[in-house]
Amino acid sequence: MSSVNADRIPNNVHLADDKRLQRALEAWQPNFMRWWREMGPCGFQDDLVYLRTAVGVDAGDWAHFDYVKMPDYRWGIFLADPVADRTIGFGDAMGQPVWQQVPGEHRNTLRRLIVTQGDTEPASVEQQRKLGSSCPSVYDLRNLFQVNVEEGRHLWAMVYLLHSYFGRDGREEADALLQRRSGDPDRPRILGAFNEPCTDWLSFFMFAFFADRDGKFQLLALAESAFDPLSRTTRFMLTEEAHHMFVGETGVLRVVDRTAKIMAEHKKDGIDDVRKLGVIDLPTMQKYLNLWYSVSLDLFGGEISSNAASFFASGLKGRAKEEQCEDHTALSGHYAMDVPKDGSIQKEEVPLRNAMNEVLRDAYVDDCQRGVDKWNRAIASHGIPFELKLPNRRFHRHVGLYGGLWVDTQGDLLTEQQWKARRDEWLPSDADKSFVQSLMTKPISDPKQMAGWISAPKQGIKGRPVDFEYVRHGEA
C-alpha cells in the first residue's frame, strides 16, 4: 500500500525525498493555477462544489467527497501501486523486466507519447469552460466540474512524468502544455478533436462519450507500457476516467429518453413538431453523434502505421487488455484492412503490428456500440421507431487512409460535390446548432429543477439525492 504525503502537492511518489523534483513541480504549480484561473470553468471559481478528490490509490477508499472551491482542489500525483516483478507483456522484449527509467533510445518517442496524452487534458477543460452558464441542472453542473478538475489532475500526472524522467526537455514540454490553447490558430492543441468547439451540452455529453472514450483506450494501451511509471500513472487515471464515461453515456441517454418520451406523449415525430415541444429531435442527435464519433476515430492515428508497429515492438504501447490477446509478439498475424484503391475499397492483408492503431480502434468501436445500444433501448422503451447508428468508420475522417476522402455514413465513396451537397444530412448544420443552442440560453441554478430537454438522472452522486445542492453559489 502506498503512503500519501500531504505536502503542497499531495502525492504517493515520495516527492519530499526528491527535493529537486519537488522544487521543479512547486515552481510549475503557480503556472498551472494561472492557467486554471484563465482557462478553467468560467464564472464558478468562487462557488463551493461537491467534488470527488483523489486522496490515494486503494481500491475501495481512493477518493474523498466534499465541498471545495475549484481553485482549492488538491490536484495530486498518484501512481497505482507497483506490480512486483512486473515484466514486459508484449513485443520484442516480452518477458524482460519493465523499465524504471527511460531507455535512451526511446526517450524522444516516449516523451512525445506523454506530451500528446498530456495535451488532451487541459485542452478539454478549455473546450468546456463556458458550459456552466447553460447547465441543464445543478447535478450536471457538478459533473462537468468533476470532469474538469480531474482532467486537470491528469495533466499533473503527465507533467510529473515529464519533470521526473525527461530533464530539461521534460520541463520545457510541461510549460508548453500550459501555453497551447484549444482552437487557437497560432498555438493549437496537438490533436484535432481537442480543437473543436464544444459549446453546448449535447456536444459536451457526446464529447465525454466519444472523445473521453478515446482517452480510456489510449490509457489502456499505455497501461501496458514497459515504462513502468507510465503504466502505473495511467492505471490510476483509468479509475477517474470511468466517471467521465458515465457522464457522457448517461448524459446522452437522458437526452434521448426525454425526447422519445415527449414524442410518445404528444404523438409527434416530424422534426419541426418535435422541436416545437422543446426537445432535441433524434435526427439532430444522430448528426452530433456522427460528428463526435468521426473526430474521435481520428485520434487513434493512421490505420497502417509504422510508428504503431515500432511502439508495439519496443514495448512502449500495447493493446487494450493485452493479457487477453493470444499472441503477444504479433509477429505472424495479419489484419484484413479496408484500403481505398483505384476509386473503390479493397481488402488488403496488413502485418498485424502495422495495424495496431486499427486494433485499438476496433476495441473502441465495440465499446461505443454498447453505449449506442443502451440509448436505442431507451428510445424503444417509449415505442418510438428510431435507431441511432454509428456511421461507417470511413465517414468524415481527416487522418489516416480515409482522411480527405468523401465518404457517406454507409462508407461509400462519393465525389466532393456529391458529399458537400449532402453534408447537412449527416453533420450538424448551422440551423441545427442554433436550435440546440436556443434550448440552452441560461443556467438552471435551482437544484430542484431540470431543463426541459433532458430527463432527470436515476440517482444522485455518492448517495446524495438528485436535487442535492451540488454547487453552492458565491458562499465563502
Residues that bind Fe ion (CB under 5 A): 121, 151, 154, 212, 215, 244
* Shortest CB 112 distance to Fe ion, Å: 18
Is the CB of 244 or the CB of 254 nearer to Fe ion? 244
Provide the minimum distance between the beta carbon of 366 and Fe ion in the complex, in angstroms, as a whole number.
Answer: 19
Q: Tell me whether residue 234 or residue 392 sits nearer to Fe ion (CB atom).
A: 234
Residue closer to Fe ion by CB (options 153, 275) is 153
**Quick one: 143 or 314, whose CB is closer to Fe ion?**
143
Nearest residue (CB) to Fe ion, 300 versus 453: 300
In whole angstroms, the minimum distance from the beta carbon of 141 to Fe ion comes to 17
Cβ neighbour number for residue 226 with a 10 Å cutoff: 26
Rounded Cα gap, residues 443 and 398, in angstroms: 35
Nearer to Fe ion, 149 or 297 (CB): 149
| Residue 22 or 148 having the CB closest to Fe ion | 148
How far apart CA 9 and CA 6 sit, in angstroms, is 7
Distances (CA, A) of 309 to 95, 215, 218, 327, 362: 18, 20, 15, 15, 16
CB of 90 to Fe ion, least distance (A): 24
> In the complex, what is the shortest distance from the CB of residue 212 to Fe ion, in angstroms, rounded to a whole number?
4
Please give the Cα distance from 266 to 136 (Å, whole number): 22
Give least dist CB 211 to Fe ion, A. Answer: 8
Instruction: Work out how close the CB of 178 gets to Fe ion at its nearest, in angstroms, rounded to a whole number.
Output: 16
Residue placing its CB nearer to Fe ion in the complex, 49 or 280? 49
Closest separation in Å from C-beta 246 to Fe ion? 11
Quote the CA–CA distance of 46 and 474 in Å, as a whole number.
Answer: 6
